[in-house]
Every structure is written in structure tokens, then in C-alpha cells.
Structure 1
Amino acid sequence: MNLTSHLPSGRRAHVEGRLRGNLIAWLTTVRPDGRPDSVPVWFLLREDETVLVYSQPGKRKLRNVAANPHVSLGLDVTDIGRDIVRLEGTAELAPDALPADREPGYAAKYAERIGAMFGTPAEFAALFSAALVITPQRLHSSGSVSALD
């Protein structure tokens, strides 16, 4: 994976696993007044190393990205902050993206949660019908590399 090629091999495998397996990330966009706005999102790291996020139409994050494409995506941290993975990049609205229920990787990753929280995949896709595609430009990672080797 080119995105993680600058990391030592043990850390690289760990970070790639988190990018593919973590369920929650914090998407930070920029408001018109310059203040950051962070919200939790479900996401999919795609084979081309872009990140796909679905949203309900009309949400602030979509308006923010339309005005300023610079974003940050931080993986949810559950271990007192020692395993940080954060992407910086640009996002764009993707009106031609497949609906969430027809995006195989996304549908598989969130199938259990979609069923428990929203009913059917089609119901989820109807609610979260606006897609964002993030193109990472930088990956920041911290943690104990020696513990992973």
C-alpha cells in the first residue's frame, strides 16, 4: 500500500489493518468561519486508497467540503491514545458513487450494524445517499513500533 510505504514493516501492517478494519473514524472538515468541525463517520478504504464516506444529504460536513475540500480523518482510538492513525487530504462530493448497499466492501463491513440500526441495507442507502470521496495526501501514525515487530 503506497499510503503506508513510509512506515516500518510491522507498523505498516498494523496501520493497514486498522484502516481496513476500524468501524469509526472522525472526519474533520472546515466551516466557512475557519473553525474545524469533527463528526464520527463510517468509512471504507478502497483499493485505490481513497476513502469513501456516506452521509445524509444536507449535513454540515457536505456543505463544508463543497466550500473547502481540506479534511482530516482520524481513526477512533480506544487505547488511551497510543495508537494514532490520521489521514489528511481533500474530499469531494461523489454524486456518481454507488449507493451504500451496492458498494460491496462498505456493505460487507457494516452489514451487522446496518441491520441492527437501520433495518435493510436499502433503507440505510436511502437515508445515507450522499457520498464523499477523500483522497489522502498524508498519513500520520504514532505508536510503539517495536511492540508491533
Structure 2
Amino acid sequence: MSDPVNEPESAVRLRLAEEKNVWLCTVRPDGSAHVTPVWFVCRGSRWWIGADHGSVKVGNIRKEPRVSLALEDGRFPVVAEGDASLIRDGFPREVVAAFERKYGWDVSAPTRPGGKRVLLEVRVRRWLLAGTAQ
């Protein structure tokens, strides 16, 4: 298990750079979990996720910022817990560029007419599993 203050090991960092999807778990107002696969980029102990401002996950984060993230491969799990912040304007250029390189996608562009994008910044509090099942 990686130390929660430090970045994960190099093999985990490589997976975070290459894997396309992560499962994001937010907390609904009634306390139940809302789990959805999302595209992401990860820099150190910060994850970045693009979302529509009207999505369930964004509404949940407005009320409860604690989230969990898990890569899809359960044989070599990578799971982190953190606190999410919503960035409504002024997306960091390096994050927008990272999404473009990884997915060929402008994370700041609305996905539907009249829609508005937000960027979720998740600061990792602790790594629960970092590539080794426990």
C-alpha cells in the first residue's frame, strides 16, 4: 500500500497515464452510492475529470465532496479516496492539453447545446490499493 502523502509507485503512475476509464463513486443526498465510469487524467495525487454541470455526479459533489476512484482492472486494483472541487471557469491549460493528448477531446467544450462543462479536481487523501490486492 502506498503512503497516502506520497505519489504511487511508477508502475501505478504508468497505468494512470494509459488507462482510459476510472470508476467514480460519489454520495447521493440519501447517502447511497452513485458509481459511474469516467474519462480522467491524473497528475501526482490529483485526478481531473470533465463533467456536465447538470450531471448527477456534479450535484452530488456540490453537497458531499468525498469521492472514491477505482481503475477497472480488479486483478491489479488501484483505488483512491479524495475530496472533489468543482472548477467552473478557467480550466488549467495543462489539464485541457492532457485530455486532448489522451483522448483527442476538448474537455472544456459543451457536449450538448446550452450545456456547460465543469472540471472536477480530486485531491487524493489516501491510496487504498495501489496495484496489489489486499
TM bracket, shorter-chain basis: 0.7 to 0.9
Partner of 1:53: 49
CA distance in 2, matches of 1:99, 1:13: 24
How far 1:16 moved relative to its partner? 1.0
**Contact kept in structure 2, 1:26 and 1:75, CA below 8 Å:** yes
Query: Which residue identity does 2:7 align to in structure 1?
Result: L
Instruction: Establish whether residue 20 from structure 1 lines up as the match of residue 9 from structure 2.
Output: no
Partner of 1:143: 132
Query: Which residue identity does 2:72 align to in structure 1?
Result: D
CA distance in 1, matches of 2:37, 2:127: 18
Instruction: Establish whether residue 129 from structure 1 lines up as the match of residue 117 from structure 2.
Output: yes
TM norm structure 1: 0.73
CA distance in 2, matches of 1:76, 1:35: 21
State the identity as a percent: 32
Partner of 1:7: none
* DSSP-derived class of the 1:83 partner: coil
CA distance in 2, matches of 1:103, 1:89: 21
The verdict on how the C-alpha distance between 1:97 and 1:43 changes in structure 2, with shifts beyond 3 A counting, is farther
**Contact kept in structure 1, 2:67 and 2:81, CA below 8 Å:** yes
Which residue, 78, 98, 110 being the options, matches 1:85? 78
Q: Which runs of 5+ in 2 are unaligned?
A: none
CA distance in 1, matches of 2:50, 2:90: 10
Higher helix residue share? 1
CA distance in 1, matches of 2:86, 2:128: 24
How far 1:143 moved relative to its partner? 2.5
1:34-80: per-residue Cα shift (whole Å, max 9, x none)? 00110000001125x31110012200000000000000011111xxx
**Contact kept in structure 2, 1:25 and 1:41, CA below 8 Å:** yes
Q: Which runs of 5+ in 1 are unaligned?
A: 5-11, 115-120, 145-149
Query: Which residue identity does 1:126 align to in structure 2?
Result: P
Choose 1 or 2 for highest CA Rg.
1
* DSSP-derived class of the 1:103 partner: helix
* DSSP-derived class of the 2:23 partner: strand
CA distance in 2, matches of 1:96, 1:57: 11
Runs of 4+ residues deviating >4 angstroms: none
